[in-house]
Each structure stands twice: as structure tokens, then as C-alpha cells.
């Protein structure tokens, strides 16, 4: 593997791409450390160090590499773009116009990408406005003394708030641009690499906090468990059910086509990390309602604050697990269309051995997909519960490094990036990473 890295840097064009990606990552991390104009840096840092949990914005703070709760220029991170991409994916299934654009190929995909940018900026404005409003009210960083949390801004006025909203929204636009640069001029997967960078940025700090709080023995146990979990995640992420497909021979003009064998790869984790994001976002809504109505004596809000705000509560954990399973089935159902796959196979003369073309093929694909989705959904639910279990067992915070969204993103993006470099090395007849 080290020899493959050396070969990658010996190739001039590939070396330029890798160095360009490293430069973009450096710029990205620099923007995550520059405070937004109007922020009282000393008070924010004091609250950030004193806060034990990330509150309702934990997921956004994860995707911003810890920049959100420090109110930096790139505070929103990549989260608005992720949300916009998910929304467009769902709308493609619902709106016929978007579905037609998707079928147009590259030109249609470019139009959908443009819509994604517009939705990203709209979401960035909404999220930045909410964050600035919480910062002005002193409710952004829970657990911080009032003398600091109530004075996160130098001047608490509308002009300063508007400047912060504009700056954070512009930061999101710059992040989109950097991601597209990595995709076009780097090694691909630009947005994924930026997400990976921000998640990894919080990883050493989370490990060090476990070592300081629990000592070397617990720290060693966490590392050992982490390695086992990473190996299991890699195994599941690579697992797939290969459905064999045979193409019959047919004459087109004077040429004979077909007669080949291939397969349809159905991944066990077909939905990726999306169900975890959906479930987390949905469970943040009741917590957000409680945070904006802290002085209310409503019985419903009191019950929510008791059972849904604390991540270690059994009701919260059970709801989280069940929502992940539901969203896994939901997302797989809208992204994989067995009827379309069966029709395409029939059109090109393909068939599954032992299964008739057309409706029987569609039913067989549905049968297989429903059964491999169950272990994938259970796997996502268990991985997502690891940080919450750590909160109960070793009293670690919810940024526990080995588990949840962070681990799924790190492993998934790392595997995809290695495959990208591997394919470029194989084009130049060099020995790659994978053997």
C-alpha cells in the first residue's frame, strides 16, 4: 500500500491532483477556524470548552468539524448541501419534471445540480438565522455560565446579526465551490472528501477527551472496540448480493450482440448514512421545540424534555433505532426501482436464470431487496446506537468517536477515495491499493 502511494506521487498528473486536494482541504480547515465578524471569540471559546454536549445542533456541528459552536465563517459546514441533495433526490421521485431531467443525462443532471445550489443557499440562510438567534438569546451553548453565553456577540443588534447571517451563508457557498473544484480538478467525490475532513477533524479531540476523563485502561478498551467496529463496518459496507443476469444473443443488422453474463450488485447497506441523518434530524425537532420554549409549563413539552432531549433515555434510543429502520426501507424504496430495472433488462434481452422476464423479474428483485435491507437497517441502527450506549456505560459524551454517523462517513468515504485512486493507478499499469 505504501508502494502504491509512492507510485501515485511519482505520476505527475496524479501528484498534481493529490496536492491540489490537500491545498483545498487546508483552505477548508482554515475557514473553519476564522471567527464570524461580530463574535466575541473569548466568550465563545470559554463556552465551547465548558459545554459537555452539542445540544440540538450536534449533527451540524459534526459536519462542520466543530466550527458551528465556535461561530466561524464555515460554521454551517456541508450540512445545508447534504440536506438540499436529499430533498432533490426525494423530489425527483415525486415531481415528473425533475424525473425527466434526470433521464436526460449530463445536461439534465447539471440542471438538477443548479437547483441543489439554490436550495442549499436557502437552507443556509434559514439555518444561519436560527443559529444567530440562539446565540443572541444565550441558548446556543447549553451548560455555559450566563455571563459568557449571554454575551457571545460584541454588539447585540440587528446589523451585527444580519452581517453574521450573510457571512455564514457566503461560507456555505464557498464550501460548495471548493467541493466542486475537488470533483473537477482533484480525484473526484469533492463533497464527500470535505465531509470526511470535517468529521476526522473532531476525531483526535474526542479520543483525547476519553483518555483524560477515563484513564489509559478505558482508553485502550475504546481503541480495541473501535478497531473491531471499523472492521465490521468495512465488511458490511463491502457486502453485496450479486444477482446473475444473462443476455441472450440477438442480431442487429449484420452483427451479433449479447450472449454475455453479468450481475446486479445489491449492497446490504443500500441506503448509506442517509437514514441516520433522517432519524437524527427528526428527533432534533422536539428538542428544538423545547429549547425555544424553555419557560413554558406545557405538559407535552415537559414530557419531551424528560424523554427526548437526553440521548441516554431508553425511549429516545428505541425511537432512534426504529426511525433508522423505517427510513432505511423508505430510502431504498425510492432510490431503487425494481420495475425500471426489470423493464431495462427485458428491453436489452437480459434475464435472471430461472426467472421469467417482466413481472416475475420485478417480483424477484423486490423479494431479494426486502430481505437484504433488513440486516442493513439493523446494522445502521446498532452502529448509530454505539455513542448513546457509550454515554450510558462509560459516561462519554455524544461525540464518542467510534460509532454513529462519524464512523459510517469516515469508512465509506475512505473506501470510495481509495477506489478512485486505485482506478487511476490501474490506468497507468501501476500496482494499486487493493489486492
Do 87 and 181 share a domain, yes or no? yes
Quick one: pLDDT at residue 256?
60
Do 149 and 297 share a domain, yes or no? no
Do 362 and 225 share a domain, yes or no? yes
CA-angle at 413, arms to 409 and 416, nearest 5°: 150
Do 400 and 265 share a domain, yes or no? yes
**423 assigned to some structural domain:** no
> How confident is the prediction for the chain on average, in pLDDT?
78
**6 assigned to some structural domain:** no
Quick one: pLDDT at residue 174?
92
Quick one: pLDDT at residue 2?
55
Residues forming beta bridges with residue 35, ordered by sequence position? 72
Strand residue runs (E) in 203-258: 240-247, 250-252, 255-257
Residues ≥6 apart with Cβ < 8 Å to 430: 4, 7, 8, 11
Q: Identify the weakest region by mean pLDDT among 62-71, 105-114, 166-175, 361-370.
A: 62-71
Which residues span the domain enclosing 363? 203-406
Residue 55's Cα: distance from chain center in Å? 19
pLDDT surpassing 90 at residue 170: yes
Average pLDDT over residues 31-54: 73
**268 assigned to some structural domain:** yes
d(CA 129, CA 131): 6
Residue 3's Cα: distance from chain center in Å? 31
pLDDT surpassing 90 at residue 125: yes
Quick one: pLDDT at residue 69?
67
Q: Identify the weakest region by mean pLDDT among 118-122, 239-243, 258-262, 312-316.
A: 258-262
Do 283 and 390 share a domain, yes or no? yes
d(CA 404, CA 425): 32
- pLDDT tens, residue by residue, 4-20: 566 677 777 788 888 89
| Residue 90 or 63, more confident | 90
What is the three-class DSSP state of 211?
helix
d(CA 40, CA 33): 14
Last residue of a domain, one of 186, 218, 252: 186
**139 assigned to some structural domain:** yes
d(CA 394, CA 226): 14
Do 123 and 157 share a domain, yes or no? yes
Task: From residue 20, give the alpha-carbon distance in Å to each of 73, 305, 415.
Answer: 22, 47, 20
pLDDT band at 55 (very low <50, low <70, confident <90, very high): very low
**411 assigned to some structural domain:** no
- pLDDT tens, residue by residue, 244-280: 888 776 656 666 665 677 888 888 888 888 888 788 7
d(CA 313, CA 153): 34
Do 233 and 314 share a domain, yes or no? yes
Q: Read off the C-alpha cell for 16.
A: 498534481
Do 122 and 218 share a domain, yes or no? no
pLDDT surpassing 70 at residue 291: no
| Residue 203 or 18, more confident | 18
Residues forming beta bridges with residue 255, ordered by sequence position? 252
Strand residue runs (E) in 253-345: 255-257, 261-267
Q: Read off the C-alpha cell for 400.
A: 464518542
Quick one: pLDDT at residue 166?
92
Q: Identify the weakest region by mean pLDDT among 49-63, 145-159, 253-267.
A: 49-63
Quick one: pLDDT at residue 336?
84
Q: Read off the C-alpha cell for 203.
A: 476525531
pTM summary value: 0.77
Residues ≥6 apart with Cβ < 8 Å to 308: 283, 286, 287, 290, 315, 316, 319
Task: From residue 300, give the alpha-carbon distance in Å to each of 254, 288, 289.
Answer: 74, 13, 11
Question: Phi/psi at 141 (nearest 5 deg)?
Answer: -110, 100
N-term to C-term CA, the chain: 10
Do 167 and 267 share a domain, yes or no? no
Last residue of a domain, one of 186, 217, 249: 186
Q: Identify the weakest region by mean pLDDT among 61-65, 161-165, 280-284, 420-424.
A: 61-65
Question: Phi/psi at 265 (nearest 5 deg)?
Answer: -85, 115
Question: Phi/psi at 432 (nearest 5 deg)?
Answer: -95, -170
Q: Identify the weakest region by mean pLDDT among 21-25, 97-101, 176-180.
A: 97-101
pLDDT surpassing 90 at residue 282: no
Other CB atoms within 10 A of residue 356 CB: 12
pLDDT band at 54 (very low <50, low <70, confident <90, very high): very low
Other CB atoms within 10 A of residue 14 CB: 19
Q: Identify the weakest region by mean pLDDT among 47-51, 69-73, 107-111, 124-128.
A: 47-51
pLDDT surpassing 60 at residue 433: no
Do 208 and 138 share a domain, yes or no? no
Q: Read off the C-alpha cell for 294.
A: 424553555
Contact 222, 210 (CB under 8 A): yes
d(CA 407, CA 390): 14
**72 assigned to some structural domain:** yes
**54 assigned to some structural domain:** yes
d(CA 428, CA 419): 14
Sheet hosting strand 261-267, strand order edge to edge: 261-267, 240-247, 350-351
Report the length, in residues, of the chain. 435
pLDDT surpassing 50 at residue 217: yes
Do 212 and 179 share a domain, yes or no? no
Task: From residue 267, give the alpha-carbon distance in Å to each of 66, 270, 370, 377.
Answer: 32, 5, 12, 12
Domain CATH number, residue 311 = 1.10.3370.10
Q: Read off the C-alpha cell for 34.
A: 476564522
pLDDT surpassing 70 at residue 50: no
pLDDT band at 398 (very low <50, low <70, confident <90, very high): very low
pLDDT surpassing 50 at residue 25: yes
| Residue 250 or 117, more confident | 117
Do 233 and 178 share a domain, yes or no? no
Instruction: Decide: residue 406, CB within 10 A, 0-12 exposed, 13-18 middle, 19+ buried.
Output: buried
d(CA 329, CA 321): 13
pLDDT surpassing 60 at residue 400: no
Last residue of a domain, one of 186, 211, 241: 186
Short-list 219, 205, 218, 215, CA closest to 48? 205
**22 assigned to some structural domain:** no
Q: To the nearest 10°, report the CA torsion of 190, 385, 49, 203.
A: -40
Structural domains of the chain, count: 2
Amino acid at each position: 500500500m505504501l508502494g502504491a502511494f509512492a507510485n501515485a506521487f511519482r505520476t505527475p498528473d496524479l501528484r498534481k491532483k493529490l496536492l491540489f486536494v490537500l491545498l483545498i482541504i487546508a483552505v477548508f480547515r482554515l475557514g473553519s477556524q476564522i471567527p464570524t465578524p461580530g463574535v466575541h471569540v473569548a466568550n465563545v471559546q470559554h463556552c465551547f470548552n465548558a459545554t459537555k454536549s452539542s445540544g440540538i445542533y450536534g449533527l451540524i456541528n459534526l459536519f462542520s468539524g466543530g466550527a458551528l459552536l465556535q461561530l466561524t465563517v464555515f460554521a454551517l459546514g456541508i450540512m445545508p448541501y447534504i440536506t438540499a441533495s436529499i430533498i432533490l433526490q426525494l423530489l425527483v421521485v415525486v415531481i415528473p419534471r425533475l424525473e425527466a431531467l434526470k433521464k436526460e443525462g449530463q445536461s439534465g443532471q447539471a440542471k438538477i445540480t443548479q437547483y441543489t445550489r439554490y436550495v442549499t443557499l436557502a437552507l443556509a440562510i434559514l439555518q444561519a438565522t436560527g443559529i444567530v438567534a440562539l446565540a443572541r438569546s444565550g441558548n446556543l451553548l447549553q451548560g455555559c455560565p450566563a455571563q459568557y453565553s449571554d454575551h457571545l456577540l460584541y454588539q447585540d443588534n440587528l446589523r451585527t446579526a444580519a452581517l453574521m447571517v450573510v457571512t455564514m451563508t457566503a461560507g456555505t457557498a464557498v464550501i460548495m465551490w471548493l467541493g466542486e473544484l475537488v470533483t473537477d480538478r482533484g480525484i473526484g467525490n469533492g463533497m464527500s472528501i470535505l465531509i470526511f475532513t470535517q468529521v476526522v477533524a473532531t476525531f483526535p479531540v474526542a479520543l483525547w477527551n476519553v483518555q483524560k476523563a477515563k484513564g489509559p485502561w478505558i482508553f485502550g478498551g475504546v481503541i480495541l472496540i473501535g478497531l473491531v467496529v471499523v472492521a465490521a463496518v468495512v465488511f458490511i459496507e463491502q457486502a453485496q448480493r450479486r444477482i446473475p443476469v444473462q443476455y441472450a444473443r440477438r442480431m442487429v443488422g449484420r452483427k451479433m450482440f449479447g450472449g454475455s453474463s453479468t450481475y446486479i450488485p445489491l449492497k446490504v447497506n443500500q441506503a448509506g448514512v442517509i437514514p441516520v441523518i433522517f432519524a437524527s434530524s427528526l428527533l432534533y425537532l422536539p428538542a428544538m421545540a423545547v429549547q425555544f420554549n424553555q419557560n413554558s409549563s406545557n405538559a407535552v413539552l415537559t414530557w419531551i424534555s424528560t424523554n427526548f432531549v437526553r440521548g441516554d433515555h431508553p425511549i429516545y434510543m428505541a425511537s432512534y433505532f426504529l426511525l433508522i429502520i423505517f427510513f432505511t426501507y423508505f430510502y431504498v424504496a425510492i432510490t431503487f426501482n425494481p420495475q425500471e430495472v426489470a423493464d431495462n433488462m427485458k428491453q436489452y434481452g437480459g434475464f435472471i436464470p430461472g426467472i421469467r422476464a417482466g413481472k416475475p423479474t420485478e417480483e424477484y428483485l423486490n423479494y431479494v431487496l426486502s430481505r437484504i435491507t433488513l440486516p442493513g437497517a439493523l446494522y445502521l441502527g446498532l452502529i448509530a446506537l454505539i455513542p448513546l450506549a457509550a454515554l450510558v456505560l462509560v459516561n462519554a459524551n455524544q461525540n464518542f468517536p467510534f460509532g454513529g454517523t462519524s464512523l459510517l462517513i469516515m469508512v465509506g468515504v475512505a473506501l470510495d477515495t481509495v477506489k478512485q485512486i486505485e482506478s487511476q493507478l490501474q490506468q497507468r499499469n501501476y500496482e494499486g491499493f487493493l489486492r
